Amino acid sequence: MTSLDDIPVTQLKGVGQALADKLARLEIRSLQDLLFHLPHRYEDRTRIVPIGSLRIGDVGVVEGEVMKADLVMGRRRSLQVTLRDSSGFLVMRFFHFNAAQKNQLTEGRRVRCFGEVRPGRAGLEFYHPEYLVDPPPMPSGEQATLTPVYPLTEGIQQPRVRGLCKQALGYLQRYPIREWLPESLLSDYQLPGISEAVELVHMPPASAPVHQLMEGKHPAQQRLVMEELLAHQLSLLKVRRQIQAREALPLLPTGDLTERFLDQLPFRLTGAQQHVMTEIRQDLSQPVPMLRLVQGDVGSGKTVVAALAALQAISAGTQVGLMAPTEILAEQHYQNFVSWLEPLGIRVAWLSGKVKGRQRQDALAEVADGRANIVIGTHALFQQDVTFDRLALVIVDEQHRFGVHQRLALREKGVGGRLAPHQLIMTATPIPRTLAMSAYADLDTSVIDELPPGRKPIETIAIPDSRREEVIERVRKACEEGRQAYWVCTLIEESEVLQCQAAEVTAQELADRLPGLNVGLVHGRLKTAEKAAMMERFKSGELDLLVATTVIEVGVDVPNASLIIIENPERLGLAQLHQLRGRVGRGEAASFCALMYHPPLSMNGKARLQALRESQDGFVIAEKDLEIRGPGEVLGTRQTGMMQFRLAEFERDKGWIEAIREMAPALMDNTPLVDGLIRRWLGERIRYGDV
């Protein structure tokens, strides 16, 4: 039986190969894809606004008579059309236009147009507005409907997408959309059927409540939101099921490695660390791959937990791989693990993208023949030429920087390519509970919710950069009293080169201004060995002040550092600021964090800095970050295929998360439903099977 999925967009009037190729960039190939390319907002074009009442930034419909139409030869040639109604005049400006448009928009013609008011050379202007010449009468109140606004790609305009969607809706009578959700579920939540919901969202009737549609709360929108969130949840459960379909090696430790390791630590584990360790120990002893996410705030001791998990695998005669997203963090782990594990007779190998030539060949050989018990590095660990002897546990740090695909790809590296390795995933970015339930549905979650005794709260102040002199004086005083300080440079530019230059200039300036102090510099373009040497000099107390880019965000531990200055904090997310702040407060002294911002601050910027001043709790801060910036930012942009919703908005729709979490497992055995929903909402974004 033919379905909308089988009908290509080229069946629609006006869609040739060139337009089909553009639509494919939006992942629209069939009529079903087109109907699920949903409007992300609406515009109210139901009434004409007097031109004289418009202000800059307003969006609206105006109607008037063309006073004149001129070709203007400025920096860019443009067509300038002046419209007048009884209250005033407005310019429509077109940078891209053709002769037909120019001939159509002549003096005396009546034009209705829609746009956003901007300031221009000739007063108020609409750039490239949508318009109608000699328009029909406006629909009356009973017929007036909202206008949908769609996500676009280059070369396709709103009117074209609206026209195509309208054509596609004409097919719904003959080819209704497949209803995957059980009838009982729809009636429980009083939701409309799928075809009805799709039709209403594309073409809201005049009777539909405008405010509900504008806010995304209409039952038809919520019906689609629920299905989209469910599709995401099912896709992650499918990842979990596929990873766990393979057996894992049960890791039953022998010997006294763990006891010897704990005896040499200069501190005792917290209750939270012990609790999480019990969960991990239990998972590792099963013949099913562990998939566990360990969340813990800055300084809560996740690395020790990772080391204990590694020891369980090593004492069972297997290998461990530890992957971190950056060279500096991977190296920090390498140094920690060497100092902890080599005294116990455990061989730690180092493998990153920068390890080349003979050194790389030696490391690969040690990994392949099993001499290396644990291998630490960046994602270079999972390149084709890395073969493990008996890999049974993979530890991934800062998981949100890697996508779902990497988790699937790890399966191939397990013992004999047959047994899947256990996976322990760690993050120092606390993730709000609702977001974790949705974004990491394929993982069991543990939380280290207790800091080691003796960690002092950090006093956080926000200060404008006009008071830079005072801040430099504060640094001098702290260092003269025997403390150390960080000075973090952030730049809005993406370019690492510019960031490093800014840090170099700042380091030179501070060295000149603070002649009695030893100033060091760390940034992303230094060689790994240079970075390590500089960090070592700071750690040993040889340097008083370390100027750095955000490379020091995670994992750097210098107990004597009690002051951190963060320049332009308004340019960073809350989670990143919280991570940076966590570089201090690790010793006995009272610690301070100065957020040196450049005024004026936006409302958003004020809210972020306020949240940081009011709380030391990473989870509270993460909730605030989610509220302000949305899930894509909180998770990190590389979480491919995740949280890139078409219609759902996490903050608005999080009320669905708990219900979906409960209903999804019960639907997992219905393979056609699971595959149908994933295909409908995520398309090809996550590949399953043997990756």
Residue 334 lies in a domain: yes
Q: Which pLDDT band, with edges at 50, 70 and 90, does 638 fall under?
A: very low
Residue 572, domain CATH: 3.40.50.300
Residue 416 lies in a domain: yes
Residue 142: predicted pLDDT: 55
If asked whether residues 24 and 53 sit together in one domain, one would say: no
Residue 690: predicted pLDDT: 41
If asked whether residues 165 and 265 sit together in one domain, one would say: no
Task: Pull the structure tokens for residue 406.
Answer: 């990497």
If asked whether residues 363 and 463 sit together in one domain, one would say: no
Question: What end-to-end distance do the CA atoms of the chain give, in Å?
Answer: 32
Residue 340 lies in a domain: yes
In the predicted model, what is the mean pLDDT of residues 63-74? 88
682 within 8 A of 239, measured Cβ to Cβ: no
- Worst-scoring range by mean pLDDT, 358-362, 521-525, 597-601? 521-525
Residue 73 lies in a domain: yes
If asked whether residues 500 and 580 sit together in one domain, one would say: yes
d(CA 374, CA 391): 9
96 within 8 A of 127, measured Cβ to Cβ: no
Task: Using the predicted structure, report yes or no on whether residue 144 has a pLDDT greater than 70.
Answer: no
Share of the chain above pLDDT 90, in %: 28
Task: Using the predicted structure, report yes or no on whether residue 222 has a pLDDT greater than 90.
Answer: yes
d(CA 603, CA 570): 11
Residue 342 lies in a domain: yes
Residue 301: predicted pLDDT: 80
Of the candidates 426, 432, 428, the one whose C-alpha atom is nearest the C-alpha of residue 625 is 432
If asked whether residues 262 and 289 sit together in one domain, one would say: yes
Domain that holds residue 13: 4-41+155-215
If asked whether residues 476 and 554 sit together in one domain, one would say: yes
For the purposes of burial, counting CB atoms within 10 Å of the CB of 49, is it exposed (0-12), middle (13-18) or buried (19 or more)? middle
Q: Of 79, 107, 138, which one is at a domain's C-terminal end?
A: 138
Cα dihedral 594, 596, 597, 598, rounded to 10, equals 170
What is the C-alpha radius of gyration for the chain, rounded to an integer number of angstroms?
30
pLDDT digits (tens, 9 = 90+) for 570-582: 877 777 788 888 8
Residue 144 lies in a domain: no
Residue 615: predicted pLDDT: 80
If asked whether residues 31 and 56 sit together in one domain, one would say: no
Of the candidates 493, 429, 380, the one whose C-alpha atom is nearest the C-alpha of residue 631 is 429
Of the candidates 565, 573, 580, the one whose C-alpha atom is nearest the C-alpha of residue 507 is 565
If asked whether residues 506 and 600 sit together in one domain, one would say: yes
**Residue-wise burial string across 2-11, b where 16 or more C-beta atoms lie within 10 A, e elsewhere:** eebbebebee
pLDDT digits (tens, 9 = 90+) for 311-366: 999 999 999 999 887 777 788 788 889 999 999 999 999 888 777 888 888 888 88
In the predicted model, what is the mean pLDDT of residues 45-58? 85
Regarding beta strands 147-149 and 41-43, do their DSSP bridges make them parallel or antiparallel, or are they unpaired? antiparallel
Most confident of 39-48, 283-292, 325-334: 283-292
Q: Of 424, 448, 472, which one is at a domain's C-terminal end?
A: 448
> Positive or negative CA dihedral for 260, 266, 270, 276?
negative
Residue 406 lies in a domain: yes
If asked whether residues 537 and 569 sit together in one domain, one would say: yes
Residue 88, domain CATH: 2.40.50.140
Could you tell me which residues come within 8 angstroms of residue 582 by beta carbon, excluding any fewer than 6 positions away?
A: 297, 298, 299, 428
Distances (CA, A) of 237 to 395, 442, 444, 667: 20, 5, 11, 10
If asked whether residues 435 and 467 sit together in one domain, one would say: no
d(CA 583, CA 486): 8
If asked whether residues 291 and 424 sit together in one domain, one would say: yes
In the predicted model, what is the mean pLDDT of residues 360-382? 87
Q: Of 85, 106, 138, which one is at a domain's C-terminal end?
A: 138
Residue 106: predicted pLDDT: 87
Name the domain count of the chain.
4
Average pLDDT, the chain: 83
Residue 190: predicted pLDDT: 92
pLDDT digits (tens, 9 = 90+) for 452-508: 776 677 889 999 989 999 999 999 999 999 999 999 988 644 555 666 677 888 889
Task: Using the predicted structure, report yes or no on whether residue 529 has a pLDDT greater than 90.
Answer: no
More confident residue, 86 or 139: 86
Share of the chain above pLDDT 70, in %: 89
Could you tell me which residues come within 8 angstroms of residue 76 by beta carbon, excluding any fewer than 6 positions away?
A: 95
Of the candidates 332, 321, 333, 407, the one whose C-alpha atom is nearest the C-alpha of residue 367 is 321
Distances (CA, A) of 597 to 252, 484, 497, 566: 53, 22, 22, 8
Residue 621 lies in a domain: no
If asked whether residues 197 and 314 sit together in one domain, one would say: no
